[in-house]
Structure 1
Amino acid sequence: MSTARDLFIISVDQPPEQAVGQGDLSLALAGAELIDLIGAGAVTVDGDRIVPGGPPAAGDRLLGEAAALLVRQPPHERIEDWLWRRGRDLSAGYRTALERDGELVRRRSGRLSLGPEQVAPADTPARRRAADRWEEGEAVLTALASAVGLGNSGDSDGNDGNGPSGEETGLETGTETGPETGPETGLDDAVTTVVAAVHDAVMELEAVRQRRAIENSAFANLWRGP
């Protein structure tokens, strides 16, 4: 299983009040793929640009698809641009893939199971592996989850009781500057650069949402009249 698959499983294994926006999740999944490609030696990071190397190990179709989409001719693609390009509807792609692999099951929410249909992780080794990484505060998964708002709400320590807090992992979560760098975080420079880009992209997407909400409200008030 890849970091992206683990992140998706963690995101759907949360209570309703911690539901993750699909746009935010798609950006984080694109970042997770890039981090996995770095770990596999398939890419390196030069400043804010992605430099492709050899192909990743076979076995993960979506990660192979991500590698095939890399820009191999200089000037190489900026990390930010990759997140937006690869991230388009990526969460839907992971949902489809995980359902096909039997890692997700469909269920209905609400009383008497009459609510809208949702997906939840199946009780599989993949779910247990993702849960172990999450509960242990594995640095990469925690940093990406924090970018989409997981693990940084709830009690006064910034922990919802299900995942690690920022204090436990040495990460700054939910801030405009993104995660701290350094050996105490467990993130190397390349991974920190990717995680910071994910944080920035998620904040940019939220700014777009807020701007559209304001514009729609102003338009509605205009038609409503005095």
Structure 2
Amino acid sequence: MTTPRDLLIVAMDIAGSRPVGPGDLSLALAGAELIDLLKTPTIRLDGGRIVPGHLPLPADRLLVEAAASLIMEEPYELVSDWLWRRGDSLAGTYMAALEADGLVVRQGGHPFRGGQRVLVVSPSRHQAVERWESGEPVLVSLAEGLGIHGGTGDPPEVGDYAVATVLAAVNDALLELEAERQRRGIEQAAFDNIWRGF
């Protein structure tokens, strides 16, 4: 399993302080992909930009797709730009992959509209939960950004500078997305108030 898949399993399996929206999850999954590509190392960071490497690609199909979508020419892409570009609807892609692998099934609902997606008991789920319960810093940091908190209370320490850079960019992107949601909510409320006045 990969960090993005483990993150999705944790997001489905562990209750957070608020429901995890697909936009937030997609940004975090894009960050998780970058971290796994750094570990391969299919990429490296240089001044906040993603520089492609020339080593063999990872074994996971979705990470291969991620690597194939890298910008290969200078000045290369900023981590923050990658998160928004690659993170567009990425949660649906990973959910479909888990479903295709038999790790997620649909329960209830109308036969033609599907139902709620639930995790099945599997070695992959067990591995993701084990990684979560062990307090693995990358997984815990990504999950905490989504409002899913571990039991320790202390923020995990990440020693690798490149990984820490990606995690910081994910947190910034999540804050930006939340600020945009709030701005739209305020605008909608103001618009509704105007119409109530007529």
3-state secondary structure, aligned to 1:67: helix
1:31 deviation in Å? 0.1
Amino acid at match of 2:196: R
Q: Which residue of 1 aligns with 2:186?
A: 214
Query: Does the CA-based 8 Å contact 2:17-2:147 persist in structure 1?
Result: no
Unaligned runs of 5+ in 1: 110-115, 152-162, 172-184
Q: Does 1:137 align with 2:99?
A: no
Query: Does the CA-based 8 Å contact 2:17-2:148 persist in structure 1?
Result: no
Amino acid at match of 2:130: D
Amino acid at match of 1:218: A
Which consecutive segments of 4 or more residues in structure 1 shift more than 3 A? 15-18, 55-58
Query: Does the CA-based 8 Å contact 1:55-1:67 persist in structure 2?
Result: no
Q: Does 1:194 align with 2:192?
A: no
d(CA) in 2 for partners of 1:200 and 1:220? 30
Could you tell me which of 149, 152, 156 is aligned with 2:147?
Answer: 149
Q: Which residue of 2 aligns with 1:120?
A: 118
Unaligned runs of 5+ in 2: none
Q: Structure 1 residues 58 and 34 mapped into 2: Cα distance closer, same or farther (>3 Å)?
A: closer
d(CA) in 2 for partners of 1:187 and 1:7? 20
Q: Which residue of 1 aligns with 2:66?
A: 66
Amino acid at match of 2:188: N
Structure ranking higher on relative contact order (CA contacts 8 Å, 6+ apart): 2
Query: Does the CA-based 8 Å contact 1:3-1:33 persist in structure 2?
Result: yes
Equivalent pairs counted in the alignment come to 194
The farther-off stretch of 45-54 and 79-88 is 45-54
Compute the TM-score of the two structures, normalised by the length of structure 2: 0.92
Q: Which residue of 2 aligns with 1:37?
A: 37
Amino acid at match of 2:116: Q
Q: Does 1:165 align with 2:137?
A: no
3-state secondary structure, aligned to 1:51: strand
Q: Does 1:8 align with 2:31?
A: no
The farther-off stretch of 96-105 and 47-56 is 47-56
Alignment of 1:90-129 (within 5 A): 90-108=90-108, 117-129=115-127
The Cα offsets for residues 176-224 of structure 1, whole Å up to 9 and x where unpaired, read as xxxxxxxxx1431000000000000000000000000000011111111
